[in-house]
Amino acid sequence: MQFYSLNNHSEKADFEVATIRGQAPDKGLYFPQEIPTLPKAWIEGIAGFSREEIALKVISPYVGDSIPTRELSGIVEQTVSFDFPLVPVSEGISSLELFHGPTLAFKDVGARFMSRCLGYFVRHLNRKITVLVATSGDTGGAVANGFYGVDGVDVVILYPSGKVSSVQEWQLTSLGKNISALEVKGTFDDCQRLVKQAFTDSDLNRALFLTSANSINVARWLPQQFYYFFAYQQWADKGHPPVISVPSGNFGNICAGLLARRSGLPVAHFIAACNANDVVPAYLCSGHYQAKDAVATLSNAMDVGNPSNFVRILELFDQAFHPLKEVLSSCSISDEQTRQTIARVYDRHHYLLDPHGAVGYLALSQYLQEHPGQQGLFLETAHPVKFYDVVEPITGQQIPMPASVSSMLNQPKQSLPMEVSYQTLKQYLLSRPA
């Protein structure tokens, strides 16, 4: 499989090169030259396969010859070694729980897959790789956990000070070793701009071997398709495919879902469930895309004012607005609606939502009210305990602390405060031991 740059279709790379680079030399995102079509009979028989078999079937065409099948099978097995249950919540609505991994967030899948792929590739290199990543919350912890202790790889995470939850901050600042955290006095968009500037700095890139672990990297983005196949495997009414609501920030997750649909996965419709950061809902109303400054919300992992992966969604639909609107709708959910949804679903259905899942649930509920007869699922992307300081005051109930979280609470925070300054970031990166 070859991947081309969205800035220049003649700029191509295989899976290994695309993973190591993160972005193309022209700073475009990589996109698969071909989108594989999975056999209809295989999809119809999906209930008979294991998670590992499903994941390997989905990802193999993209990886191609870059990783031998035996090695790739082992990577996949480690990537999906936890549960992805589809849980009924209310009439016509189920939750696909993606928080059963080591950092209690959906990003565990992409981070684990990418770290293991990069760990395989780095064996053939004579240089240390520096993974540079910006996080709005869950990416940082998942990347830190996935890459912790990987030989030949250092990780530098930029996160916005005071704009991630306390649990999220513990997860990305408590490890040390080859993981470093920079606490930026700004927003996620500031962090993302600093990271993007680093990748365009020719002097820095001559001195360091940089790559990204955000969902702009194909090895982070592509395995997110697994969720949707796992959901369909558990979906009872195969004759009536689900409407799927995806809490959306940087749009890598829902883009992977749309890619899975293009490969043949039955999905009735997608909903990009957004918080107050409503760039995409506004675009789908007007046809005009206008990036905005990010607004801080309760669902902080979605606080993105210029989602990087939306260009991939446009490419998936050949830049055609109306065909995109037929498959994808989007809405903006306020913080007050988020609070009300957490309280109502807990009181009526005894199901505890995190703020991101609440946005996804309400967006789906509103859509189904307007489209009677359909059923759907939403992605519960993080364990509620990661946002206990938001959820507990709403429900009045203490959330039991999973062992993976309680074990880190006494670990010292290891972060370096930093102003929004590219020169400061550059100096820090160049001063690190080679």
Distances (CA, A) of 95 to 11, 157, 179, 287, 382: 40, 30, 33, 31, 12
| Residue 407 binned pLDDT confidence (cut-offs 50, 70, 90) | low
**pLDDT tens-digit series, residues 194-249:** 998 998 898 998 899 888 887 889 999 999 999 999 999 999 999 999 999 999 99
Which helix (H) or strand (E) is 95 found in, with range? strand 93-97
Confidence bin at 124 (pLDDT 50/70/90) = confident
Structure tokens at 95: 């939750």
Is there a contact between 6 and 28 (Cβ–Cβ < 8 Å)? yes
* Unique residue bearing structure tokens 């022209």: 26
**Which residues contact residue 313 at a Cβ distance below 8 angstroms, ignoring those fewer than 6 apart?**
251, 254, 255, 258, 324, 328
The pLDDT value recorded for residue 237 is: 94
Distance from C-alpha of 430 to C-alpha of 422, rounded to nearest angstrom: 12
Largest distance between two CA atoms of the chain: 60
Q: Among residues 57, 107, 196, 386, which one is catalytic? A: 107
What percent of the chain stands above pLDDT 90?
71
Lowest mean pLDDT among 206-210, 240-244, 281-285, 350-354: 206-210
Predicted local distance difference test score (pLDDT) of residue 409: 66
- Ranges of beta strands (E only) in 338-429 are 376-380, 416-418
| The pLDDT of residue 376 is above 80 | yes
Question: In Å, what is the CA distance from 416 to each residue of 147, 157, 171, 419, 424?
Answer: 19, 10, 15, 10, 11
Query: In angstroms, rounded to a whole number, what is the distance separating the alpha carbons of residues 192 and 404?
Result: 28
Residue spans of the domains in the chain: they are 84-105+221-395
- Write down the mean pLDDT value for the chain: 92
Tell me, what DSSP letter sits at residue 382?
B
Q: With H, G, I as helix, E, B as strand and everything else as coil, classify residue 396.
A: coil
pLDDT at 434: 64
Q: Which residues contact 193 (CB under 8 A, 6 or more apart)?
A: none
The sheet that has 30-32: what strands, in order across it? 12-14, 2-5, 30-32
Q: What is the CATH number of domain 84-105+221-395?
A: 3.40.50.1100
Q: Is the pLDDT of residue 103 over 90?
A: no
Task: Please state the rounded mean pLDDT for residues 92-96.
Answer: 98
What is d(CA 354, CA 198) in angstroms, rounded to the nearest whole number?
Answer: 33
pLDDT tens sequence across 65-81: 999 999 999 999 999 99
Residue 107 annotated in active site: yes
pLDDT at 220: 92
Residues 168 and 140 sit within 8 Å (Cβ to Cβ): yes
Query: Of 101-115, 120-134, 406-420, which one has max mean pLDDT?
Result: 101-115
Q: How far apart are CA 184 and CA 380, in angstroms?
A: 28
Q: How far apart are CA 49 and CA 195, in angstroms?
A: 40
Give the number of residues written for the chain: 434
Which residue would you say has higher pLDDT here, 385 or 361?
Answer: 361
Residue 240: CB atoms within 10 A of its CB come to 13
* Long-range CB contact pairs, 231-240, < 8 A, 24+: 231/84, 231/86, 231/96, 231/377, 232/43, 232/46, 232/265, 232/266, 232/267, 233/46, 233/47, 233/49, 233/54, 234/85, 234/86, 235/86, 235/377, 237/375, 238/44, 238/266, 240/268, 240/374, 240/375
**From residue 424, how far is each of 130, 361, 429 by CA, in Å?**
17, 41, 9
Token digits of residue 185: 């006095």
Per-residue pLDDT, averaged over 156-177, amounts to: 86
What are the distances in angstroms from CA 131 to CA 107, 246, 399?
16, 27, 34
Per-residue pLDDT averaged across 338-361, rounded? 98
Residue keyed to tokens 């989007």: 330
Angle, CA of 335, 340 and 342, to the nearest 5°: 95
What torsion do the CA atoms of 47, 51, 53, 58 make, to the nearest 10 degrees? Answer: 90
